[in-house]
């Protein structure tokens, strides 16, 4: 089986998935990836003919919410085929093997498929002291660097692997760093979110398989197909924002009417994600639709830009709930007091100059051109 790797399609059919369901899955993925109509057949062809992707999936400093999200993708095929049944060569949480067998499994992948396998990482990597995260007696950093050496590409799942998430939030006791900060020389796809949307994760995997290259990324390494627009730009409450209709408190009339949650601290205007379009849990809803402001979980440092229910973030070093506006007003008052003081002192100390006029009032201001 390892030598003659079956394709996704063969595995799916073997698992009792109908051809119809397989095609539905391919069409869904093409839609999520924003491909044109011909893209569907490209995906079908790829999944039918290409051997499965060998994948090593690491868990470092994280909560496994990315895995949890992934197995809840809207189409069961993603979870069942892409992750659980086929691709999984090494995944600590879901694999049956443990101990030596588990270690052997991922070493086997590295040996058998050099330059072909994908390293997928959940979680950040401690750098303050590598011992904060060890698996099988080796540190996360060692494991990752070894695995990355011969991989094809790295997929950083979620905010931990993409930006450090909560572990990297101030004061970052473990010196947690995202994947792209500790490795170099390999393409890293940051699939942001805490967790990322399941269908986004599936979309990235399908893209890798179909086109044999990494998807187009934005300036922060996120796939453009899913992270090119703000949650705010695709929010169904956007009209209320432009109309200046805001929820002022969670129990007011505005909340009932579904006004914009901007003043409740919604981070939608500064967060790039596909929540407003793909949504969550088989496209049932997303936080804003449920009346809760976006907390900006797909952005680096969102924990340090809190509180979640306040529009302006706190300014570090000025105490709890001190925003730029409070500091600004304080400085403004101080400036006004300083100006008043200076004006008074001027009238006393510069009295002579202000009065300065000579008694022999003969000459006047000369004008020459």
Sign of CA dihedral 333, 337, 340, 342: negative
The DSSP bridge pattern shows strands 118-122 and 55-59 to be: parallel
Binds another protein by CB under 8 A, chosen from 175, 187, 269, 291: 269
Nearer to another protein (CB atom), residue 20 or residue 352 = 352
In the complex, least distance from residue 292 CB atom to another protein, rounded to whole angstroms: 18
Can you give 201-254 as a three-state secondary structure string? HHHHHHHHHHHCCCCCECCCCCEHHHHCCECHHHCCCHHHHHCCCECCCCCCHH
Give CA–CA dist 129/106, Å, rounded: 25
Residues paired with residue 59 on neighbouring β-strands, in sequence order: 122
CA distance 228 to 132: 35
Q: Does residue 267 belong to the site contacting another protein (CB under 8 A)? A: yes
Instruction: Say whether residue 6 binds another protein (CB under 8 A).
Output: no
At 120, which helix (H) or strand (E)? Answer: strand 118-122
Applying CB under 8 A, does 166 fall inside the site for another protein? Answer: no
Binding of another protein by 320 (CB under 8 A): no
Stretch of residues binding another protein (CB under 8 A), selected from 26-34, 36-44, 70-78, 216-224: 216-224
Helix (H) or strand (E) holding 161: helix 158-163
Q: How far is the CB of 266 from another protein (least distance, A)?
A: 12
Q: How many residues does the chain have?
A: 369
| CB nearer another protein, residue 45 or residue 350 | 350
- Closest by Cα among 248, 269, 266, 267 to 257: 248
Residue 305 interacts with another protein (CB under 8 A): yes or no = yes
Q: Where does this chain touch another protein (CB under 8 A) — which range of 47-55, 128-136, 284-292, 309-317?
A: 309-317
Stretches 49-57, 101-109, 139-147, 336-344: which one binds another protein (CB under 8 A)? Answer: 336-344
Residues in the interface with another protein (CB under 8 A) total 67
List CB contacts of 34: < 8 A, sequence separation 6 or more: 225
Cβ closest to another protein, residue 252 vs residue 282: 252
Quote the DSSP letter at residue 69: H
With contacts defined by CB under 8 A, name the span among 27-35, 51-59, 136-144, 356-364 that binds another protein: 356-364
Question: Using CB under 8 A as the criterion, what x/- string covers residues 238-257 for binding another protein?
Answer: -xxxxxxxx-x----xx--x
341 makes contact with another protein (CB under 8 A): no
Contact region for another protein (CB under 8 A) — 28-36, 115-123, 205-213, 311-319?
A: 311-319
DSSP calls for 255-288: HHHT-B-GGGT--GGG-B-STTTT-BTTTTB-GG
337 binds another protein (CB under 8 A): no
CA gap 106, 144 in Å, rounded:
12
Q: How far is the CB of 107 from another protein (least distance, A)?
A: 36
Question: Would you count residue 182 as binding another protein (CB under 8 A)?
Answer: no
Burial class of residue 337, CB neighbours in 10 A (0-12, 13-18, 19+)? exposed
Give yes or no for residue 20 binding another protein (CB under 8 A): no
Q: How far is the CB of 221 from another protein (least distance, A)?
A: 9
Q: Which of these, 90, 83, 7, lies nearest to 56 by C-alpha position? A: 90
Positions in the binding site for another protein (CB under 8 A): 218-220, 228-230, 233, 239-246, 248, 253-254, 257, 262-263, 267, 269-272, 296, 299-302, 305, 311-313, 315, 324-325, 327-328, 331-332, 335-336, 339, 342-343, 345-346, 349-350, 352-354, 356-358, 360-369
């Amino acid at each position: 089986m390892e030598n003659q790797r079956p394709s996704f399609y063969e595995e799916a059919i073997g698992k009792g998935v109908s051809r119809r369901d397989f095609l539905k899955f391919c069409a869904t993925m093409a839609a999520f990836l924003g491909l044109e109509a011909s893209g569907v057949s490209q995906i079908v062809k790829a999944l039918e003919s290409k051997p499965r992707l060998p994948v090593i999936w690491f868990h470092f400093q994280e909560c496994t919410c990315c895995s949890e999200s992934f197995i809840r993708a809207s189409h069961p095929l993603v979870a069942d085929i892409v992750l659980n049944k086929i691709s999984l060569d090494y995944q600590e949480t879901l694999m049956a093997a443990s101990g030596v067998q588990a270690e052997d499994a991922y070493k086997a992948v590295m040996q058998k498929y050099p330059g072909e396998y994908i390293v997928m990482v959940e979680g950040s990597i401690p750098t303050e002291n590598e011992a904060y995260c060890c698996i099988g007696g080796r540190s996360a950093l060692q494991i990752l660097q070894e695995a990355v050496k011969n991989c094809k590409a790295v997929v950083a799942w979620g905010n931990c692997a993409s930006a450090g998430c909560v572990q990297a939030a101030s004061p970052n006791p473990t010196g947690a760093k995202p994947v792209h900060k500790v490795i170099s020389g390999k393409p890293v796809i940051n699939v942001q979110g805490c967790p990322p949307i399941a269908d986004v994760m599936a979309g990235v995997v399908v893209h890798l398989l179909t086109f044999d290259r990494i998807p187009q990324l934005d300036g922060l390494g996120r796939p453009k197909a899913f992270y090119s627009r703000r949650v705010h730009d695709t929010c169904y409450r956007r009209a209320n924002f432009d109309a200046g209709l805001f929820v002022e408190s969670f129990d007011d009339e505005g909340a009932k009417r579904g006004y914009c949650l901007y003043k409740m601290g919604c981070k939608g205007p500064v967060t790039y994600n596909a929540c407003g379009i793909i949504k969550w849990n088989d496209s049932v809803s997303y936080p804003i639709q449920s009346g809760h402001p976006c907390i900006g979980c797909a952005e680096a440092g969102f924990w340090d830009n809190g509180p979640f229910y306040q529009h302006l973030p706190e300014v570090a070093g000025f105490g709890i709930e001190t925003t730029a506006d409070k500091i600004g007003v304080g400085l403004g008052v101080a400036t006004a007091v300083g100006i008043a003081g200076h004006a008074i002192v001027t009238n006393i100390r510069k009295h002579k100059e202000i009065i300065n006029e000579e008694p022999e009032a003969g000459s006047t201001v000369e004008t020459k051109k």
